Copies of this chain bind each other. A is one copy, B any other.
Amino acid sequence: MEQLPPPSPQASPFFDVRMRGFRDRVHVETVIGMVDDHSPPLPAETVPLTEAFGRVLASPLCAEVAVPGFNRAAMDGYAVRAEETFGATAYNPLSLTVVGQVLPGQPFAGVVESGQAVRIMTGAPMPDGADAVVPAEYAQEVGSIVRITEAVPPARHVSRVGEDIAPGRQLFAAGRVLRPQDLGLLASVGIGTVPVVRRPTVAVMVTGDELLPPGSKPSGYQIVDSNSPMLAALVQRDGGQVRLLPIVPDQPEALRQAMQTASAEADVLLISGGSSVGREDHAPRLLAEMGRLLVHGVALRPASPTGLGQLGAALVFLLPGNPVSCLCAYDLFAGRAIRRLAGLCGDWPYLRLPARLSSKISSALGRTDYVRLRWVGPATTAEAVGAVEPLAISGASILSTTTIADGFTLVDAACEGYPVGATIEVYLYDRVFANPPRSPQ
Contacts and interface: CB of A to CB of B under 8 A. Distances in A.
A25 B68 CA distance: 30
Interface stretch (A118-126, A289-297, A416-424): A118-126
A321 B399 contact: no
Contact of A398 (B124, B163, B433): B163
A256 to B, nearest CB: 19
Contacts of A183: 226, 229-230, 232-233
A429 B188 CA distance: 20
A101 interface: yes
A210 B140 CA distance: 27
A435 B347 contact: yes
A141 B233 contact: no
Contact of A215 (B192, B217, B322): B192
A218 to B, nearest CB: 5
B105 A208 contact: yes
A230 B322 CA distance: 42
A14 B233 contact: no
A93 B2 contact: yes
Interface in A230-260: 230-234, 236-237, 244, 250
Contact of A397 (B65, B69, B164, B395): B164
A180 interface: yes
B163 A229 contact: no
Interface string A273-287: 000101110000000
A141 B8 CA distance: 9
Contacts of A228: 187
Contacts of A142: 5, 8, 11-12
A433 B345 contact: yes
A322 to B, nearest CB: 8
A403 B53 contact: no
A435 B352 contact: yes
Contact of A105 (B123, B221, B351): B221
Interface string A1-23: 11011011001101100110000
Contacts of A74: 397
Contacts of A65: 217-218
Contact of A184 (B107, B218, B229, B236): B229
Interface of A: 1-2, 4-5, 7-8, 11-12, 14-15, 18-19, 48-50, 53-54, 65, 67-70, 74, 76-77, 91-93, 101, 103-107, 119, 121-125, 136-137, 139-143, 147, 159, 163-165, 171-172, 177, 179-190, 192-193, 208-211, 214-218, 221-234, 236-237, 244, 250, 276, 278-280, 321-323, 327, 344-345, 347-352, 395, 397-400, 402-403, 429-436
